[in-house]
Structure 1
């Protein structure tokens, strides 16, 4: 944005400088040529007064010496012609004239005075031709023609224009120097707002307060915008903090009465009327499901807070969670397999890989049928490590893949499967906090493939931005 503002300033300064410089160049050139024309016209009129008698008496002996002397001193050719246009002095013939010169000579022989010529550009090498009539008692007896070289005049004109061009360039340079601090002053609040946006996002992830961006600098309008941004950031971070606190506190507070409820329902086992046995079992199942939901809400609340990154051994995390889920998988007739590249490490919060695997494996076990295989695949690609879990269950439709990580969303085709719709949301949020991304795919052969892409651990244990 600073470059665009500088371009605007330079365009304005350039237009003003070029406009004033062009006007100055035109007026100085016109004034110099007018002065040059006036001096030559004066000389031509003077010579015309001198040749009145020689033209009347038809004697030009002394005239040749005068004209030669004038040419030697001023470098200007002076020619005298009679009323019919023939040279008065054969020793001083008139060179062929261009259209403008011939027009002026004809005007002089008709008794009219020479007019100021139009402005000539410096690259126009034509000489200045002035013709004045020689009048005796009001009668035209001939004309005096002066042919003045304009090379020296144009050279001085070019020098003047070069100085004006240098002044224009200097004005542009000064405009840049003056506009730089002004542009910097104008854009300072904008830069602070841009940086503040990133700080607000970081503060929201960390669960803390965002650093204010208003510092009473810049234009008044942008200062008011900075103050409004700080109020908005404070409101947003406060609302999110209250939301997290509510979820965490509500989950904790509900666990105690829920645990007591489960104990009371368990103690009633064997003391319930036979007709109410099914209802008693259903109540125990609902209590268990509610307990699982509270655990997931607590896990989701924990994922809303960022944690420092560390080098996490992928092999250890995968082996640990596969062993934890293997009894349940074998109990339901499923096979857990591991393949891919071993010896990988990622930069992630401690326990993040385990949380992701728990959520994804739980989803795969619930959605798979007896005899299916669940495969955990690990591989490194450039600076990323992919941990993929693939099942061979019914999978999801193309339009459902994007919604699968939404909170509490469940596929209509799997409404009979136990779950709360928070598993993949927890996995996606955990991966995002680690600087990675979660991708869902429908591989060939059916099923669902969930790929967590995390940054490979470096020597400093930091993560690069996700590509």
Structure 2
């Protein structure tokens, strides 16, 4: 944005400099032309008067002497045509076309004393003319050659001066434009970064009040709004965590009372009803556990994004993920056998893998993916693998169960989302959401893919901090 704004201001600055320079140079050319014209017309009038006197006296000696002296001083020719003879100095010939035209106009008593505007890089001379005599009779014509080289040289000198001044003025305007652009856009850039930071992390630092008054007011308003939003989001997260935690006590007490009540029940229908209540309590406890895990994962995701935004990355140790995967596979073994499934951990034959990630959170992510695979692919085969990628490292948990459709895979990380075909299977719809948030907290992402010919692949991709 700064480049675009500075480019526009630069074009405007160049136009201003060019316009001002053109006006100054045009004025200088007109001034020099006017000076030359006034001077030469005065000289032409003097020679016309001398020629008129010489015509009356019949003696042209003094006139010729004055003409030769003028030519010697100024290097310009003069031609005077009397009724009896023609006088010339400086080699000005009556045969020249421009001189003939000037004499013809003067013979008609038409004075031509106008000089064209001086141009710095032109060459050649011009002629001016006038007649002399009485009011009723033209006695002769006077033609003066005007050499504009001196005026052109002065104009070129002014061009150099104006050009240098234009360069200095342009540089000053560009510098002012750059400073002005930075002064105006710096708060805009800070505001853009703060919006991105608020969107990513839910928090942002206070914006400095700088720039034009409107932007300073905007920065103050945004800082106040960001603080309100951050406090609201933090309050919501804390409310969820506190509520989930506080509900565990009454749920636990209720479960204890039902357990005591079951000891007093004698008939089968009552015992079956109590067992149904216990199942619902277990579901509530599972839901509370999931909400607490999700609140922790989202807090970690926000904290990880904030650390990345401020370049203060969490100092996680570089770990070998294979022992973590092995531990989770062993931990999930009993549940898999109970469901009739098998789990295998594929060996990695290459160099030792390294991953910058919290080992406990990695174990939680892999554990959730394994629990999902066991739950939704009973009697199937589950494979766990880790591999080095071009950008880092990836961990896959795949199963050969029914899998999910493409639109369902996109929606599966939403809170409490359950696939319609799996509605009869117990669950709270938070597992993949927790995995996604924890992956984000550790600089990775969760990618769900279809397994051919059927099944689901949960892939944790980590970049930058992993290598093989």
Stretch moving more, 27-36 or 283-292: 283-292
Give the direction of change, closer, same or farther, for the CA distance of 1:148–1:366 in structure 2 (3 Å limit).
same
- In 2, distance between residues paired with 1:229 and 1:148? 73
* CA contact 1:272–1:280 (8 Å) conserved in 2: no
- In 2, distance between residues paired with 1:151 and 1:340? 94
- In 2, distance between residues paired with 1:340 and 1:30? 92
- In 2, distance between residues paired with 1:153 and 1:278? 118
Match in the other structure for 1:462:
none
Give the direction of change, closer, same or farther, for the CA distance of 1:87–1:262 in structure 2 (3 Å limit).
farther
Match in the other structure for 1:113:
111
Identify the match of residue 297 of structure 1 among 277, 291, 294. Answer: 291
Deviation at 1:7, TM superposition (A): 4.0
- In 2, distance between residues paired with 1:398 and 1:97? 93
Higher helix share: 2
- In 2, distance between residues paired with 1:155 and 1:454? 74
* CA contact 1:54–1:63 (8 Å) conserved in 2: yes
Task: Give me the CA root mean square deviation.
Answer: 3.1
Match in the other structure for 2:235:
242
Match in the other structure for 1:78:
78
Stretch moving more, 395-404 or 306-315: 306-315
Deviation at 1:41, TM superposition (A): 1.4
* 1:117-145 alpha-carbon deviations (Å, 9 max, x no partner): 34242222242221112324532233222
- In 2, distance between residues paired with 1:314 and 1:458? 10
Give the direction of change, closer, same or farther, for the CA distance of 1:92–1:219 in structure 2 (3 Å limit).
closer
Give the direction of change, closer, same or farther, for the CA distance of 1:104–1:324 in structure 2 (3 Å limit).
farther
- In 2, distance between residues paired with 1:60 and 1:444? 120
* CA contact 1:83–1:140 (8 Å) conserved in 2: no
* 1:336-388 alpha-carbon deviations (Å, 9 max, x no partner): 12236463222223412112112212222222142x22222211223421112
- Any stretches of 5+ residues in structure 2 without a counterpart? 304-313
Identify the match of residue 335 of structure 1 among 331, 342, 352. Answer: 342
Identify the match of residue 280 of structure 1 among 274, 278, 296. Answer: 274
* CA contact 1:347–1:455 (8 Å) conserved in 2: no
* CA contact 1:346–1:455 (8 Å) conserved in 2: no
Match in the other structure for 2:394:
386
Identify the match of residue 129 of structure 2 among 122, 128, 131. Answer: 131
- In 2, distance between residues paired with 1:213 and 1:122? 57
Match in the other structure for 2:31:
31
Stretch moving more, 255-264 or 63-72: 63-72
Q: Does 1:257 align with 2:250?
A: yes
* CA contact 1:87–1:93 (8 Å) conserved in 2: no
- In 2, distance between residues paired with 1:360 and 1:58? 127
Match in the other structure for 2:214:
221
Match in the other structure for 2:318:
311
Q: Does 1:48 align with 2:48?
A: yes
* 1:155-178 alpha-carbon deviations (Å, 9 max, x no partner): 210111221222222222223444
Give the direction of change, closer, same or farther, for the CA distance of 1:315–1:42 in structure 2 (3 Å limit).
same
Deviation at 1:456, TM superposition (A): 5.0
Match in the other structure for 1:434:
442
TM-score by length of 2: 0.85
